[in-house]
Amino acid sequence: MVLIKDGAIADDPYVAFEGAQSIDPGQAVSVSLADWQADREAIRAQDAPVALRLPNDAAMEDIAGDLPEFAAIIVEFPTFSDGRAFSQARQLREQFGYQGEIRAVGHVIRDQYLFLHRCGVNAIEVADEKALAAWNTAMNEFSLFYQRTVDRRTPVSALRGRVSGSVS
């Protein structure tokens, strides 16, 4: 798999967590929500970056308190048509002020890239590097938006405010 992050190919530092004993100190790990909840203290003791794999039916409130501890949150698309993670990503950014990486994994199609980005996803895991060009194209497919979301692309309503001389 290839990681695209912030519009470029990036290294993926996280290895999958398989029990607290098997991790070298300092090794960045990706942890399922269940493992995090079970082994939180042991993982903390490793003093390494943690990426949380968040099931798309998880209640956000369950992890709200721990959010500052995660260097990345991995949201899941079992199929591209299961859009729950769009809401999760947006909630993480807007309601919980999460600043770290939000990565989409699973079955994501190119035509969702812009929507993902608008909801706060800044990294995706893809099959091959060709997706990078598609990602960057998708970021510019539209220049006008009717909603104010995470990405802070200026919505049309605010552009209109400027045109008419008032502030939004």
- C-alpha to C-alpha distance for 107 and 126, rounded to whole angstroms: 9
Q: Is 159 in the site for other proteins (CB under 8 A)?
A: yes
Which residues, at least 6 apart from 11, have a Cβ–Cβ distance to it below 8 Å? Answer: 3
Q: Is 129 in the site for other proteins (CB under 8 A)?
A: no
Separation of CA 121 from chain center: 4
The angle subtended at Cα 150 by Cα 146 and Cα 154, nearest 5°, is 40
From the list 2-10, 16-24, 27-35, 145-153, the region that binds other proteins by CB under 8 A is 145-153
Closer residue to other proteins (CB): 17 or 53: 53
Separation of CA 62 from chain center: 17
- Count the alpha carbons within 13 Å of 78 in the hemisphere toward its beta carbon: 6
1: which 2 tokens?
A: 């798999």
Task: Give the residue, chosen from 116, 123, 124, 131, that forms a contact with other proteins under the rule CB under 8 A.
Answer: 116
Kindly state the smallest distance separating residue 107's Cβ from other proteins, in Å.
10
Q: Is 5 in the site for other proteins (CB under 8 A)?
A: no
Task: Give the residue, chosen from 28, 67, 115, 125, that forms a contact with other proteins under the rule CB under 8 A.
Answer: 115
By rule CB under 8 A, what string of x and - marks binding of each residue 79-98 to other proteins?
Answer: -xxxxx-xxx-xx--xx---
Phi, psi values for residue 101, rounded to 5°: -70, 135
The footprint of other proteins (CB under 8 A) covers: 57, 80-84, 86-88, 90-91, 94-95, 109, 111-112, 114-116, 118-119, 141-149, 156-161, 164, 166, 168
